[in-house]
Amino acid sequence: MKIKAIITLNVNGKDYLPGAVVDIVEDEAKRLIEREFASALGQEKAAPATNAQKTETPPAGSGTKPAPTIEDIVEAIAGLDPAKDYGKNGKPNVDAIQAALGADITAAQRDQAWEIIQKEKEEDGKGE
């Protein structure tokens, strides 16, 4: 059965890039089509469904738990040890925050949370 690869397929030790036409046994072809790794040749309408599936893929960090909020990151930073969890730049290490949260974050998210912490410290200092 001829199929059109949607992703890179490895058939009999040879790689076929997306868009390549591959002639394989019918059972294997049906499994690849069912898993949306390929489409039946002549049924290219199946490809847009795969594209829609890609847009429905949850964003990084939102598997079983929702992505951490900036407030979550602020709380995680508060629980870190500055002696071992902060970098030379004086900011908490992204890896340490991720370990505390059990989720991935970006340096930009860390910086945003760090800015909030610094503003709170300034406000606390002015109130005394």
Over residues 88-117, mean pLDDT: 93
E strand residue ranges, the chain: 2-5, 9-11, 14-16, 21-23, 38-40
Point out the least confidently predicted range of 24-28, 44-48, 79-83. 44-48
Burial class (CB in 10 A: 0-12, 13-18, 19+), 95: exposed
Residue 127 pLDDT level (bands cut at 50, 70, 90): low
pLDDT of residue 61 exceeding 80 = no
Highest mean pLDDT among 30-44, 48-62, 102-116: 102-116
Over residues 72-92, mean pLDDT: 93
Number of residues that make up the chain? 128
